[in-house]
């Protein structure tokens, strides 16, 4: 996720920040989707191995009852999140007939994009509501099931678990700049928190389904990040959109240690909304130069 912006003499020393918010929402959306795709690939590999193990037994262990044996891999591809992804297709051959068996899990991924908007919404909703009861061991009845519906359900559960683990990791670095914004993903909104380190490295620190106008949701998200290690007694710059709830949450949680700067892109859009179409381009150019 490429989000960056802002300056404050008290916290920007040593930082190399670019003032560029032009494609904020697009960048944030791509960042979340890219993360979900990577987690989805990991989930797919687990599911493929589960199906292979149902035929050939656990890898590296002798199994007299197995009905097939592993036969290497071949290049293949699937579509996840609208992107074509190269994958290694495991090959399995039947012991009795010595013919190659189909990998139905992979077939379902190739027939449709399982990481669609509906699936992504369920994944983020599960993380946002802290419903972390799903584990890889909790769905044994579906571990090797290969119907389209069971494949989709298990993919969602595993990807949600991986995302939860990613967003629950400890925060050890110092982030003098924190960026927060509401990002539209399809028909729903997600509040995203991005930290920028003193070295200029950007990391997704947290996200929650909801609006930047809702101070309770924003406060909960900030408190979650604090619980994971973000210090509250250090001065830092917060770059925010125009959401009043977001502004209130930052002040309530961090108090006088928070130096708030509004996103320039949102400010420009607000000004442009009051202008006739014929003047918008000219004024936008002038504001960018300023």
What is the mean pLDDT of each successive set of 10 residues along the chain, which is 290 residues long?
A: 35 36 43 82 91 86 82 94 92 90 93 88 80 46 68 89 85 90 77 87 86 90 94 92 86 93 65 77 77
Cβ count near 208 (within 10 Å)? 23
Of 1.10.238.10, 3.40.1280.10, 3.40.30.10, 3.30.420.40, the CATH number of 170-289 is 3.30.420.40
Break the chain into its structural domains and give their ranges: 32-167, 170-289
- Output the pLDDT for position 13: 40
E strand or H helix that includes residue 191? strand 188-196
Residue of 218, 230, 205 lying closest to 35 (CA atoms): 205
Mention every residue, 6+ apart, whose C-beta is less than 8 A from residue 102: none
Q: Which residues of 44-79 are buried (b: 16+ CB within 10 A; e: fewer)?
A: beebbebbbbbbbbeeeeeeeebebbbeeeeeeebb
- Output the pLDDT for position 72: 92
* Residue 260 · residue 252 · CB < 8 Å: no
- Output the pLDDT for position 140: 44
pTM beyond 0.75: the answer is no
Tokens of 206: 């947290």
Cβ count near 38 (within 10 Å)? 16
């Amino acid at each position: 996720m490429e989000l960056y912006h802002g300056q404050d003499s008290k916290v920007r020393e040593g930082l190399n920040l670019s003032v560029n918010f032009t494609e904020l929402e697009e960048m944030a959306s791509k960042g979340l989707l890219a993360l979900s795709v990577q987690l989805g690939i990991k989930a797919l590999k687990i599911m493929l191995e589960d199906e292979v193990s149902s035929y050939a037994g656990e890898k590296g262990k002798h199994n007299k009852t197995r009905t097939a044996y592993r036969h290497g891999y071949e290049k293949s591809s699937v579509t996840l999140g609208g992107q074509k992804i190269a994958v290694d297709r495991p090959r399995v051959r039947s012991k009795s007939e010595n013919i190659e068996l189909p990998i139905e899990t992979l077939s379902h991924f190739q027939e449709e994009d399982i990481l669609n908007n509906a699936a992504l919404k369920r994944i983020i909703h599960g993380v946002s509501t802290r419903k972390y009861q799903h584990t890889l061991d909790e769905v044994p009845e579906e571990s090797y099931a290969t119907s389209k519906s069971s494949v989709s359900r298990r993919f969602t559960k595993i990807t949600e678990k991986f995302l939860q683990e990613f967003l629950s990791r400890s925060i050890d670095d110092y982030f003098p700049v924190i960026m927060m914004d509401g990002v539209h993903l399809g028909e729903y909104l997600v509040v995203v928190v991005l930290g920028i380190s003193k070295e200029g490295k950007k990391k997704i620190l947290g996200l929650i389904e909801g609006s930047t106008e809702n101070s309770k949701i924003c406060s909960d998200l900030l408190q979650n990040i604090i619980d994971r290690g973000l210090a509250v007694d250090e001065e830092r710059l917060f770059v925010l959109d125009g959401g009043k709830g977001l502004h209130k949450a930052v002040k309530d949680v961090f108090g006088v240690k928070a130096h708030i700067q509004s996103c320039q892109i949102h400010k420009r859009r607000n000004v442009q909304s009051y202008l006739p179409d014929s003047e918008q381009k000219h004024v936008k150019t002038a504001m960018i130069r300023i």
